[in-house]
Chain A
Amino acid sequence: MSEVILKGLSKSFGEVNVVDNIDLEIKDHEFVSFLGPSGCGKTTTLRMIAGFDMPTRGEIFVGKRLVSSVKERIFVPPEERNVGMVFQNYAVWPHMDVFKNVAYPLKVKKVRQAEMRERVMRVLSLVKLNGMEKRYPHQLSGGQQQRVALARALVMEPDVMLLDEPLSNLDAKLREEMRFEIKDIQRRIGVTIIYVTHDQAEAMAMSDRILLLHNAVVQQLGAPHELYEKPGNQFVADFIGLINFVKVRTHVSGAGCFATFPNSPDTPPLEIEKTYLLEGRDRDQILAIRPENIRLISPDQSLIRGRITKKVYLGNTVDYRVALGKDEIRIEASPSLDFDTGEAVGMKFESYVLFDKNDR
């Protein structure tokens, strides 16, 4: 019932597109993150769903109800959309105590006193703020204010909860704690959540699906592991996790498909899977490989050889930089392996993706 559908949603200021033609169907109980660098259009999209910004094109459905359509000249104001929203700066009203803040949506709806009290107390215990009803916002820590904002959005039993970078003002430890709590609350009450963040780790940890945006355009939509393992383009690969980009030239011969390394002429051609090859032969492509997917082996066991230029010990892993011709490659290896700076090493590429050269 409580799904959100965006159809061809666009927003532009004059010539500048802030959001360009987004199509998205969010299922009931789903947790979807809008992820991207600042200025990518994620917050604008969220604010269009909430009703604070007007789309220039497209339609928005919340819970099967058409709430915004440029074509049909429909625009339901925020107060009639039944969406809960948690703001980046919490937006907890300083002149109201915790109880009044959380009870406000029910007060506006003229819910009876007894029921109001019962519902407020229920969400306050859900966000672990029992006993704090009489406190004022200035008596609360950042994390507690965050919980008040969450409770205020939950109490109205919204069709969808919109969270706009809710954890970005918290310190690192609290942020991690809140991630699990928000996820836990969602699991318990089964609310649909749209979560805006620029922090990929946050999106990966919490989301069922991630919508990755860049320059107003959708880059990829998928589950966290899909974005990590099968990035749709170079931007996605680069934005999520660490990755090496190596220039290659690919071609097909009778013996199979091969990639050569223009920046490292000494390295013999690497045999690759045919599925990666785009049509045509002898193409300039980019081989994208994550640091943990390169295995360091002894130089005589591999045809791809390089020399270690840097080594940084990080505890659980060791971060190596290896010169492969003119390229520098980052490799994450177990501390049990022990190579030294200056040493020659062999490499095994275990899992990688190829992109067209101009596909950014």
Chain B
Amino acid sequence: MVALLQKRFRVDPIILGSAFAIIAIIVVFPFTLLFLNSFRVDGVFTLQNYATVFQAKRNYTALLNSLQLGFFTSLFSVLLGAPLAWLVTRTNLPFARLFKTLFILPYMIPPFIGAIAWSQLLNRRNGYVNRLAQSIFGIQGYVFNVNTMPGLIWVMALYLYPFVFITVVGALERMDPTLEEAARTCGSRTMKIMKDITLPLVAPSIAGGALLVFASSIANFGIPALIGMQGRVFVLTTMIYSYMHSGGFKGISMAASLSIMLMGISVGALLLNNLYLKKKQYTLISGKSMRPKTLSLGRWKIPCFVLACVIVFVTVILPFFSIVLTSLLDAWGADITWENLTLRNYKYILFDYRLTRDALKNSFLLAISSATICMILGSLIAYISIKTKIKGRKLLETISLIPYTIPGTVVAIAMILAWSGGFGINLYNTFWILLVAYVAHYLAFAVRTTSASLEQIHSSLEEAARVSGGSWTTSLKDIVIPLIRPGLVAGWFLIFMPTLRELTMSILLWGPRTVTIGVAVFEMQEAGYVQISAAFATLLLIIVIAGNLLVKKLTRGKIGI
């Protein structure tokens, strides 16, 4: 194939070769630089940076906080996600299918919006819940303070538990029911089967979900930034942010060393999942789609139903209500009366406020262009990996998948090091540095969705086009692209949606003229413009929900929530 291409079509090696070049420039170069930089002081290789990092107690505390946050968030996510998964798949819980959708819903809400909602609800000074408690029980002072480590864990777990829920639901649905039936014929009762058969079989999936939660909570920036920093609870991501914020050369080198550490923890957790747990998950669970018999909850049916309703209320309705209510308030902190409600905040963000209008424009432009570039580059990489025999094709694919496993904060630091003029190109504070970072981070989505589609296309379909007289490009145009089009569309939206609301990388890379939606919400919230940030957050939620419904319609329910 390769030799054939080289003989006849001089353009093709250029197109295919460009994929290697682009990956080298936007992925290999920045991350190698970051890695080398963390070991270098005045041009000499040393571990001094890491030693310096730990000399400052606050760095050490941030590391411990990150680990603590990751551990407890995973724990609570398992305690919440695994039983709920069992309830909706294996019992006669009323409206189980509806609950299945509702329990996944928090996953769709951008975490920093959840953080804003919860700081409105549990804020020490004037959180809705605290005020309600004060007026009902006549308590002086506050009941809850969200700006603490437990508050952080609470909010994080509510937004990340769907990871555990989704993996466990998948495992329970795919599990071969004959495994349980066999235990029944051996004389086991329902509860004993649960303990002896079902739980051990889904344990690797539970652990896998927990590791995903761990990696995501450590990589998360929005929640610890909006909730933790106010209470002076710092984790690695927020520590890096504050070093970058304070600026200076020393700040950057500290940030780089912390980044490597953050990356190590997060990538380690994901590797553990991929290398060890994924294998177990596949060997234990068959692909049959038979529905196992559901268990009757008996007298527990009503309590379980009420519990499910409460969970939906707390994770979805309450925060949503809080955000919308706040966005309609004239004065934050005043009593909620009809006189205090207004639509002025919406008018302001849509028509009058330059920051929000710029943010909308920038984010849409960024999301559309990064999704498009990712899909072009990603499908090229997937094509090379699956349909050609070019040397190094698997390496190319692997490298293109790596940046997604790296926390966004680290990606941003690497981009700053590479593209701030030190190597002749200065993209700092421009639209382009955001674009490069988005493309690098979300490229994995494009590669994955396209390779899944390409694997379905037998090579003879292309060969048939060749013997019919079509050139390589003709067969690409007439056969391959039309056949993978649904995958391309789905992949585009999978990148468009998260980049539209991106915060973690944007907060480190934005400049005066490149504010994004995420950054705008964050900055307004930090500046205390609570109502307009809530209004903007509501607008974003509406866009996200509409986008998800659209994707679901386009992919006939295969992708989206």
Contact of B483 among A51, A77, A79, A95 (CB under 8 A): A95
Cβ of A51 and Cβ of B469 under 8 Å apart? no
Task: Give bound CA distance, A82 to B467, whole Å.
Answer: 7
Q: Is B482 close to A, CB under 8 A?
A: yes
Q: Please provide the chain A residues from 45 to 60 with a CB less than 8 Å away from any CB of chain B in the complex.
A: 50-52, 54
Task: Give bound CA distance, A50 to B1, whole Å.
Answer: 13
**Which residues does chain B contribute within 8 Å of A85, judged by CB atoms?**
463-464, 467
Q: Is B232 close to A, CB under 8 A?
A: no
Cβ of B464 and Cβ of A91 under 8 Å apart? yes
The distance from the CB of B556 to the nearest CB of chain A, in whole angstroms, is 16
Cβ of B4 and Cβ of A79 under 8 Å apart? no
Contact of A77 among B460, B461, B471 (CB under 8 A): B471
**Chain A window 67-96, contacts with chain B (Cβ cutoff 8 Å), 1 for yes, 0 for no:** 000000001011111111101110111110
**Which residues does chain A contribute within 8 Å of B466, judged by CB atoms?**
51-52, 77-79
**Residues of B within 8 A of A (CB-CB), count:** 22
Q: Is B354 close to A, CB under 8 A?
A: no
Contact of A104 among B1, B468, B471, B482 (CB under 8 A): B468
Q: Is A156 close to B, CB under 8 A?
A: yes
Cβ of B458 and Cβ of A91 under 8 Å apart? yes
Contact of B463 among A52, A105, A109, A152 (CB under 8 A): A52
The distance from the CB of A260 to the nearest CB of chain B, in whole angstroms, is 55
Cβ of B469 and Cβ of A105 under 8 Å apart? yes
Q: Is A108 close to B, CB under 8 A?
A: yes
Cβ of B458 and Cβ of A51 under 8 Å apart? no
Task: Give bound CA distance, A87 to B459, whole Å.
Answer: 10
Known contacts A108-B468, A109-B469, A91 near B463 by CB under 8 Å: yes
Contact of B478 among A50, A52, A54, A104 (CB under 8 A): A104
Q: Please provide the chain A residues from 145 to 165 with a CB less than 8 Å away from any CB of chain B in the complex.
A: 149, 152-153, 156, 162
Task: Give bound CA distance, A116 to B3, whole Å.
Answer: 34
Cβ of B8 and Cβ of A77 under 8 Å apart? yes
Cβ of A152 and Cβ of B460 under 8 Å apart? no
The distance from the CB of A55 to the nearest CB of chain B, in whole angstroms, is 11
Q: Is B474 close to A, CB under 8 A?
A: yes
Q: Kindly report which residue of chain B lies nearest to residue A74, judged by CB atoms.
A: B7
Contact of A88 among B8, B460, B471, B482 (CB under 8 A): B460
Q: Please provide the chain A residues from 140 to 192 with a CB less than 8 Å away from any CB of chain B in the complex.
A: 149, 152-153, 156, 162
Task: Give bound CA distance, A93 to B457, whole Å.
Answer: 10
Apart from A51-B467, A162-B467, list 6 A-B contacts with CB within 8 A: A51-B4, A75-B8, A79-B469, A93-B464, A93-B483, A152-B464
Q: A interface vs B, CB < 8 Å?
A: 50-52, 54, 75, 77-85, 87-89, 91-95, 104-105, 108-109, 149, 152-153, 156, 162
Q: B interface vs A, CB < 8 Å?
A: 1, 3-4, 7-8, 458, 460-461, 463-471, 474, 478-479, 482-483
Q: List 10 A-B contacts (CB under 8 A).
A: A54-B4, A79-B471, A88-B460, A89-B460, A91-B464, A92-B464, A93-B465, A108-B474, A152-B468, A156-B469
